[in-house]
Amino acid sequence: MPTARTWIACGQWLVTLATCAFLIVPVVMSIVAGLTVNYFRGVASGLTLRWLDEVWTQYHASVFLSLEVAAATLAVTLLTGVPAGYALARSKTRLSRVIEELLVLPVALPGLASALALLVVYGGFSAFRMSVAFIVVGHVVFTLPFMVRPVAAVCSQADLRTLEEGAASLGASFWQRFVTIVLPNARPGIVAGALAVLTLSIGEFNLTWMLHTPDTKTLPVGLADTYASLRLEVGSAYTILFFLMTMPLLVAMQWLGVDVPGVAGKQHKRQKPKDTV
């Protein structure tokens, strides 16, 4: 006879599978809709790649623009977020905690509010307002905390501080310690932050929708346009294209075994010194 523990385990699996089905089935249905001749008749109408070809013909520019914006956002967040995370981890003052909370503030605000603030302050510079750089600035504001937090979590480890102190005692300069010790040991946090920044930048809609122009339409904005056209086959085909862009990043995040909130737990453990005679 099954024990109570077995019934509990079966119940947990049932709840897990039901939750996965609830989340995955709509995605699968949307993908299937993008490959069918007629959405309302379903698979019985036949399968086709017509809608994918139509989406690529009309919106391929938005795909490359999204990749360009994501790459530029990643470059800026790496150059600013990694040093900022290291500085916040090393500083124990109240001011550093205030700065850290201010960096996270854009995440707590709706994307429309952040975009409106950027428009109010910088909207008067027409050349800047109409350029892709304006969207990049908005994405940097939104994604920077996702780079700073993982890096700060890694750099706050006691092992890294010990290695730095040892290198300093041997005469290494600050930049030598930062390049040869901090960056290699902070790699899990940097990788986690980079994957998070890329994924969020490619998929960001609210902020981008407020900041974009007809010449700077990114992938999520184009997706909204296709669904607004009331042709579900085209919108679903666009979803497939979006899925093909974001899934490799999500798989890479899982494969590398890094987790944005818990990067600190991924650090190498200190080895115990061997007993000496």
- Does a structural domain hold residue 269? no
- The CA distance from 207 to 224, in Å, is 13
- Does a structural domain hold residue 271? no
Name 38's bridge partners.
Answer: 42
Q: Is the dihedral of CA 179, 202, 261, 93 positive or negative?
A: positive
Residue 75 has pLDDT above 90, yes or no: yes
Residue 53 has pLDDT above 50, yes or no: yes
Residue 31 has pLDDT above 60, yes or no: yes
pLDDT over 70 percentage in the chain:
89
The domain of 191 spans 26-261
Residue 125 has pLDDT above 80, yes or no: yes
| pLDDT tens-place string over residues 221-275 | 877 877 776 667 787 888 888 788 778 877 776 676 544 444 334 344 434 444 4
- Does a structural domain hold residue 119? yes
**143: confidence class by pLDDT, cuts 50, 70, 90:** very high
The token pair at 238 is 């666009």
pLDDT over 90 percentage in the chain:
12
SS3 letters across the chain: CCCHHHHHHHHHHHHHHHHHHHHHHHHHHHHHHCCEEECCCEEEEEECCHHHHHHHHHHHHHHHHHHHHHHHHHHHHHHHHHHHHHHHHHCCCHHHHHHHHHHHHHHHCCHHHHHHHHHHHHCCCHHHHCCHHHHHHHHHHHHHHHHHHHHHHHHCCHHHHHHHHHHHHCCCCHHHHHHHHHHHHCHHHHHHHHHHHHHHHHHCCHHHHHHCCCCCCCHHHHHHHHHHCCCHHHHHHHHHHHHHHHHHHHHHHHHCCCCCCCHHHHCCCCCCCCCCC
Pick from 78-87, 107-116, 122-131 the range whose average pLDDT is largest: 78-87
**77: confidence class by pLDDT, cuts 50, 70, 90:** very high
**73: confidence class by pLDDT, cuts 50, 70, 90:** very high
- The CA distance from 85 to 244, in Å, is 31
Region 140-163: what's the mean pLDDT? 84
Residue 206 has pLDDT above 80, yes or no: yes
The token pair at 257 is 């075994």
Q: The domain that contains 82 carries what CATH number? A: 1.10.3720.10
Domain count for the chain, please give it: 1
Name which of 202, 221, 203 is nearest 71 in CA terms.
202
Region 80-95: what's the mean pLDDT? 85
The pLDDT value given to residue 257: 54
Q: Tell me what the pLDDT averaged over the chain comes to.
A: 80
- Does a structural domain hold residue 225? yes
For residues 258 and 248, the answer to whether their CB atoms sit within 8 Å is no
Region 91-96: what's the mean pLDDT? 80
- The CA distance from 69 to 216, in Å, is 10
Region 11-16: what's the mean pLDDT? 89
- Does a structural domain hold residue 185? yes
**71: confidence class by pLDDT, cuts 50, 70, 90:** very high
More confident residue, 99 or 147: 147
Residue 166 has pLDDT above 90, yes or no: no
- The CA distance from 158 to 166, in Å, is 12
- Does a structural domain hold residue 10? no
Region 35-42: what's the mean pLDDT? 78
| Other beta carbons less than 10 A from residue 192's beta carbon | 27
- The CA distance from 170 to 270, in Å, is 20
The pLDDT value given to residue 55: 80
- Does a structural domain hold residue 14? no
- Does a structural domain hold residue 274? no
